[in-house]
Structure formats: C-alpha cells, structure tokens
Structure 1
Amino acid sequence: MGIDIHNLNFLAHARDLGVSFERTLAIGRQAVFIEDWELEQHRQLRRLPPLNEPAAQAGQPRYFEPLMQQWLGARVADSVDASPYENARLIHDMNLPWPRDGACGAERGAYDAVLDFGCLEHVFNFPVAWRNCVDLCRVGGHVFHALPANNLSGHGFYQFSPELFFNLYQPAHGFELRGLYFALKPDRLHWWRVANPLEVKRRVNLCNSHEVYMLVLARKLRETATLPAPQQSDYAQDEWVHGPSASAAAAAAPGRRRAVVQALVKLRAIDAVRAARERLRVWRTSGLDLPAPDYQRVDVHTLIGKP
C-alpha cells in the first residue's frame, strides 16, 4: 500500500475540487513511493512549501503523514491494518464488518477522507471491506480508491472493472461519483477519463499492453442501510429484464460479417484468421493511447497546475 505520483496528483486534484482532508484515514499505513525529483516537481507545480520529513534510515519506508499534514491540510492522518507491523493506529481485519463498540467503533463516520490506495485488491471479502470504507467516512466526506484494473493479474486477489464503481457510487445508493480515471503506470503525465457504461449503453472494455490503475473519487451524500447487490448495467436495462433488445436482435440477424465467418469456417481458415486478429490487436494496443470515445485523455499537469 502506498502513494505514488498518480495518487499524489489525484489527491491534489481532489483538493482543488474542495475535498477536505482534515481527518484522513488510510486503509493500510501508506508508504510514499515517489522519487525526490517527482516530489520537487509536484511541489513547484503546486507552489507548496518544502516538505519537512523525519530522517529515515536507509532502506526504511517514508510514510504519508507529513505529506498529508503539510501539503493537504490534514490535522489527523490515521491508518488501519490487520497487523501492527507498520504501526497503524487502528488494528482491524477488513474482511470483517467494522465494530460498533470499542476504540474502533468510535471511528465510524469520523473521517473526511478515506484512502484505499492499493489495499482492497488484497482483501478477500471485498463487499465487507468496501462497506467498512463507506461506514468510516462521514456524510459529506470522500472515499478514494486506487486499484489495479488491467494487466496486473497475480498482484492481489482481484483486478477491478470501472463498471463496479459506476454501479456502487450512484445517487440512489447515497453517493456522488466525482471522478473515475484510468492511469497507465508508464505514463505519469496523463490519465484517461472512463465513460459510464450505463450512459453510453454498452460495455466499456479495455485490452492493452500496460499496467493500468483505476482512480476513483466518490462523495458520501447520506448514511445508507443495506444496499442491493450490484447488477451489471447492461443486465439492468429494461430490455434485458423484459425482453430481447434491438441490438441483440440485430446481432443475431444474418449479414455480411456472418457470411464471411461461415465462409472461413468452410475453408477451415477461421482459427488462423482469429490468431492473426489477436496478434494485430496486441500490436495496436502496445502504445500508451486508449481507444476513444470510451476513454478521453486528460493532461494531469494542466488539471492540477495553479496559475
């Protein structure tokens, strides 16, 4: 768990949106994984004072509290972990519902910002862990996620689809989704704003050749009771519930593409064509661009730069 340059820029963007970090809780005590020159560039871009950190021994991590307090206005920078090995103030296994009593129970609804930066992909019981994040956030506060989205299989239990967070953070559930972006690990200067599948009426898929992280910012509008299990947006459409859609009927209708496929099957060439198509797809997606219109590129320094 930690704050890299994408996460730091995301925090700065949230600050510009008016997000309060006065009382901040990190899921897992956050180490800082940012090169000194990146920190200095960010400091100059944002016109921030020099960061005053305690001296760290060689090989020991730098932690997030000085950064949160000095650059983002945090009065409290707490953290929770299942183990005390990194000296988190709160000890709790996020697989389990947040207690209602005791020292941990007193923190329910106490935080302006809850940071899930690289944590929930490592927690098996994701629905419970996500609900804990929400319950720890005060009404009017914000929940942050920075989680693996693509080409990170094996990093944790899960990779996440934007569909999940578009579905969870709905006004009907008591939330406002204020931003959902993809960030490619090798490109520190750009993010990609992701289209909402419910709005574009189709699945927003991604096949590419780079590690992709998802950045999510949501505001809690009210306390909520038990929420319904998410239903993927295209399965929640009226035509899926009540009958076949026009698009599905059109796809089933014979056409030129169908005739070509049938001809290739007769020639026993369909497997070779599909293999060539996959090689072409890999070649086309090996760059840093994501396909429009489902992904719109955002210049990060323009977004967070101040006059």
Structure 2
Amino acid sequence: MPIIAQHVPIYQEILAIPGIVGDPVLSWGVTKINIPDIFRKPWTRLSTREKLIRLHHTLLHNLPRTVSGEYDQPDLGALLKARGVKTIDILDWYDSRANLRLDMNEPIAAELHNRYGMFIDIGCLEHVFDTRQCIENCMRMVAPGGHYILCTPVSGYAGHGFHTFDPKGLGLAFTLNGFEVVYQRYSRPDGRIVERPAGETLIWLVGRKLSAMGEFKIPQQDYWWGNFFGTSPAPSAQPQESVAPQIRDAR
C-alpha cells in the first residue's frame, strides 16, 4: 500500500516514537510514496480551485497545509535512508527487487532471527495464508529493542486478501510473544481516523520487542470471549478444548 497524503499524519506519529528508527531495517515490499503536487506546493502557489481542494482534505483528514518535504522521496526506504538508516533489506516472494525472497508460509532460517531494528509490513500480512507462521516469522526477525510496524485490515476489504483480522487478536499476539504495543490507530482507506472498526478499516500497530522470543505463543479467542458473551475465562492458561466446547461453555 503506497503512502498517500492522507496517511502522512499517521506516519508522522509513528516516526516520532522514541527509538523507532533502528538499523538495519526490513521492509516487506517496496512502500512507494504517492503524493500529488497539490499537497507539496506552497499554499501561495496554489490556484483558488487547488486551495479549496486542499482545504477540504485538510479539514477532513487533519493534514498539514503543506506535506513535509521529507516525503519528496520515491519510497519509504529512501525516506528512512535520508533519516540516517544505512541498511534496508526488501522482503518479497515475487518482487525481483527483493533481496530476501521468502515464502512467509514457511519458517524462516535461524540466521534471520533477532536481526532487524525495524520491520515494516504495510498491507502484506493479510495476503499470506498461514497467518500463524507468518506472524511468528515477522516477530522473530525483529531484534530485542526493535519495532514491528504493522498495517492490515480489521474490517471490510472483502476479496482483498485471505484474511481480515480481529484487532484484539493481533494485540494479544504481540503481548503474548514479548512485544509491548506502543502505538495503535484505526483509519479508513482515505486516512480518516476512527475510534473503532466499521466498514473498511485498517489497524496501524507498532510493537516494541522487549526480549528474544521463546516458543511462539498462539492467541486463543477465549481471552476476550467475555466481551461478547458476559463470561470472563481465566487468562492464565491457554485453553485446550476444541472450539465447539468453548462455545457451549460460553452460552
């Protein structure tokens, strides 16, 4: 998913997190920057029509009057290099520009564990069928103290990818496996910030890895089942029953 003008405020918030930019960086795919000139030109050089258009977007999406010149780059990797990052690896199974050609349905090699100060996934997780293995791979590649940046659908997007995720499940995957969630936002595709998922909604999550991972811990939905059915299963142990008994017990 490219960086558009309406998403710039979210990127600005994420890039302002203390210690967020760590070297080396792993980007899943090439995140292009696609911002029209109308958002780049100084206000005084805009026509009346262009001013009205930009004012509309500024009021709707909380955009600055002029997008920072930092975004005058072809892609996110170039922007990060301008911030001082020396090494940016590209992960992709199909893209010939990638120097890591990995099928994220399969376990990654041990030499990739704890390697990257920042791992960026803007819209890829939902396109991998084996979510469990994929999330484990992503988390294992982040070095302790590094950050995992994730943007993925949590509502809508029918036919877009294999999966649309429950946000609590994603957050639990982070915290069960040694990450601290340091940023969370929901947005529409057009950049509007929303309080909760409804319609087509993206989640923006940033997790800081507190320590090297042991065995990957799989989230269980019983942990938040009570939010919907009024029960509060103890969170201290992973449930072992099949899905059907869990549903019967919750009624």
What's the TM-score, normalizing by structure 2?
A: 0.72
Alignment check: 8 A CA contact 2:40 2:69 kept? no
CA-CA distance at 1:166 after TM superposition: 2.0
Number of the residue aligned with 1:94: 104
1:155 partner amino acid: H
Structure 1 counterpart of 2:86, from 71, 75, 89: 75
Q: Give the whole-Å Cα distance in 2 for the aligned partners of 1:179 and 1:40.
A: 30
Change (3 A) 1:239 1:151: closer
Number of the residue aligned with 1:180: 184
CA-CA distance at 1:75 after TM superposition: 1.9
Change (3 A) 1:49 1:148: closer
1:234 partner amino acid: W
Change (3 A) 1:139 1:148: same
Q: Give the whole-Å Cα distance in 1 for the aligned partners of 2:7 and 2:71.
A: 19
- Aligned-pair identity in percent equals 22
Q: Does 1:139 align with 2:127?
A: no
CA RMSD of aligned residues (A): 3.0
Structure 2 counterpart of 1:240, from 227, 233, 236: 233
Structure 2 counterpart of 1:191, from 190, 193, 214: 193
Structure 2 counterpart of 1:219, from 204, 208, 214: 208
Alignment check: 8 A CA contact 1:235 1:241 kept? no
Per-residue CA deviation, residues 10-48 of structure 1 (Å, 9 max, x unaligned), is 332122221124321111222233333345688976765
Gaps of 5+ in 2: 43-62, 236-250
- How many residues are paired up? 211
Q: Give the whole-Å Cα distance in 2 for the aligned partners of 1:40 and 1:231.
A: 49
Change (3 A) 1:214 1:50: closer
Q: Give the whole-Å Cα distance in 2 for the aligned partners of 1:78 and 1:226.
A: 26
Change (3 A) 1:49 1:153: closer
Change (3 A) 1:149 1:22: same
Q: Give the whole-Å Cα distance in 1 for the aligned partners of 2:226 and 2:71.
A: 50
Q: Give the whole-Å Cα distance in 2 for the aligned partners of 1:50 and 1:159.
A: 29
Number of the residue aligned with 1:114: 119
Q: Give the whole-Å Cα distance in 1 for the aligned partners of 2:183 and 2:100.
A: 28
1:25 partner amino acid: L
Number of the residue aligned with 1:300: none
Gaps of 5+ in 1: 54-61, 195-205, 243-251, 253-307
Q: Give the whole-Å Cα distance in 1 for the aligned partners of 2:84 and 2:37.
A: 21
CA-CA distance at 1:151 after TM superposition: 1.9
CA-CA distance at 1:142 after TM superposition: 0.4
CA-CA distance at 1:221 after TM superposition: 0.3
What's the TM-score, normalizing by structure 1?
A: 0.60
Q: Give the whole-Å Cα distance in 2 for the aligned partners of 1:37 and 1:23.
A: 33
